[in-house]
Amino acid sequence: MIVKRYTGKTAEEALVLAKWELGEDAIILSSGKARDRWWKLWETGYQVLVATDYPSSKERTTARVPDSESPSTPAMVSSLEETAVTAYAATNALATDERSLELSQVLDLLKGLDRRLDRIEGIPSGRAEEVYAWLIQEEVAETWARRLAHELVDTDEAPEEETLEETVARIIGAHLAPPAPISIAEPTVVVLIGPTGSGKTTTIAKLAAYFHLEQKKSVLLITTDTYRVAAVEHIKTYAEILGVPLEVAMRPQDIPGIQKKHPADVVLIDTAGHSVNHGLYMAEIQTIVQYAKAREVILTLPATMGPTTMVETAHRLAQDLPVKLCITKVDEAHHGGAAVSALLSLGWPLAYITDGQGVPDDIRVAFPDTVAQWIAKGVF
């Protein structure tokens, strides 16, 4: 009897190897994640432990059968292979029809795998691995890098002469929704929320400049950030330069009165940034959105944040509001992978990307191609 271990990227791949070498009568004794780390890129693989009675059935009879009187202990079982031999002997005791059922299940699995392998043949060799390595280097979260690379293996289309950068951009772009910038088809009220220093006030100034100077719309700025010294001065400076009114709302309840006093096509409301653990702030966001009758809530998140913090912060701040995202400071992030991983995990609409401190220029509508190229080429 032969008992052998086969390792592959997936359990199916390991099985095919086993089938090729040991033939179709081979029986799986165990399967699971490989313990060693030989598979460098993917880091983990799968292994199956397989037995066959080739070359001689005589060996079967020599396989050790555990003594039912003395339960096996770790000391008795010196290796995985030894366990396998024991298990194989036990398998022999199964009814023949049970064994053939097991074999037919394995064969079904292998047939499915053969079909999958046919499709894989169309992919340039090693492209999925190259894409995976690229994504990891760009600091895309490991789970997303793995998933995107696997999708590349699963897909039927593999355009010829596509460069690696183009492949990376294509698979990321396919996951991103069309951009969702502020709609000014009718008068609108927009509240910006986000952690401290994430770029709310600067982004408001950029948006105000665009709507007022380029789109020739009437714009009203309201700030509810009365917590920080100089916060009001900050936004006031922009309002004066742009020539748009700015009002300070000491309480959310003041907002409707202010809106009545300054009817405008676009009302942009600035908020203070607090720790997401600050319960009062979370409640205040809700109250501001309600009093302002806001049509849109934009959450600014810096690209310099880690993906996990980004996702957690987004969930905490957004609560159940219909939030659109604005990824700020992409010019400061050495790699775009963290932000893209967070975007992919959240799946929320992305409105804008900001890439500098400059008002009004450093903001753009977040087209999937733009974001994808950021990862693929490190440029916009």
Ligand X SMILES: Nc1nc2c(ncn2[C@@H]2O[C@H](COP(=O)(O)OP(=O)(O)O)[C@@H](O)[C@H]2O)c(=O)[nH]1
Q: Tell me if 269 sits within 8 A of 192, measured CB to CB.
A: yes
Count of residues that interact with ligand X, criterion CB under 6 A: 18
**Which is closer to ligand X, CB of 179 or CB of 194?**
194
Q: How far is the CB of 270 from ligand X (least distance, A)?
A: 7
Residue nearest to Mg ion (CB): 201
Q: From 9-17, 67-75, 193-201, 337-345, give the range in contact with ligand X by CB under 6 A.
A: 193-201
Q: Minimum distance between the CB of residue 228 and ligand X, rounded to whole angstroms?
A: 8
Three-state SS letters, the chain: CEEEEEEECCHHHHHHHHHHHHCCCCEEEEEEECCCCCCCCCCCCEEEEEEECCCCCHHHHHCCCCCCCCCCCCCCCCCHHHHHHHHHHHHHCCCHHHHHHHHHHHHHHHHHHHHHHHHHCCCCCCHHHHHHHHHHHCCCCHHHHHHHHHHHHHCCCCCCCCCHHHHHHHHHHCCCCCCCCCCCCCCEEEEEECCCCCCHHHHHHHHHHHHHHHCCCCEEEEECCCCCCCHHHHHHHHHHHHCCCEEECCCHHHHHHHHHHCCCCEEEEECCCCCCCCHHHHHHHHHHHHHHCCCEEEEEEECCCCHHHHHHHHHHHHCCCCEEEEEECCCCCCCCHHHHHHHHHHCCCEEEEECCCCCCCCEEECCHHHHHHHHHHCCC
- Stretch 266-305: interaction string toward ligand X, x if CB under 6 A: -------x--------------------------------
Number of residues that bind Mg ion (CB under 5 A): 2
> Between residues 95 and 229, which has the closer beta carbon with respect to Mg ion?
229
Distance (Å, whole) CA 209 – CA 30: 65
Structural tokens at position 166 = 């183009």
Q: Is 201 in the site for Mg ion (CB under 5 A)?
A: yes
Query: In this chain, which stretch among 140-148, 164-172, 190-198, 237-245 interacts with ligand X, using CB under 6 A?
Result: 190-198
- The mark string for 195-234 relative to ligand X (x by CB under 6 A, - otherwise) is -xxxxxxx--------------------------------
188 forms part of the interface with Mg ion (CB under 5 A): no
For Mg ion, which is the closer residue by CB, 171 or 272?
A: 272
Nearer to Mg ion, 86 or 201 (CB): 201
Q: How far is the CB of 303 from ligand X (least distance, A)?
A: 8
Q: Shortest distance, CB of residue 282 to ligand X, whole angstroms?
A: 16
Binding mask 108-137 for ligand X (x = CB under 6 A): ------------------------------
Residues 312-341 that bind ligand X (CB under 6 A): 328-329, 331-332
Query: What does 324 bind: ligand X, Mg ion, none (CB cut-off 5 to 8 Å by kind)?
Result: none
Closest CA to 177 of 344, 39, 4: 344
Supply the minimum distance, in Å, between the C-beta of residue 341 and ligand X: 19
332 binds, among Mg ion, ligand X, none (CB under 5 to 8 A by kind): ligand X
Q: Which residues bind Mg ion (CB under 5 A)?
A: 200-201
Q: Which residues bind ligand X (CB under 6 A)?
A: 194, 196-202, 273, 328-329, 331-332, 354-357, 362
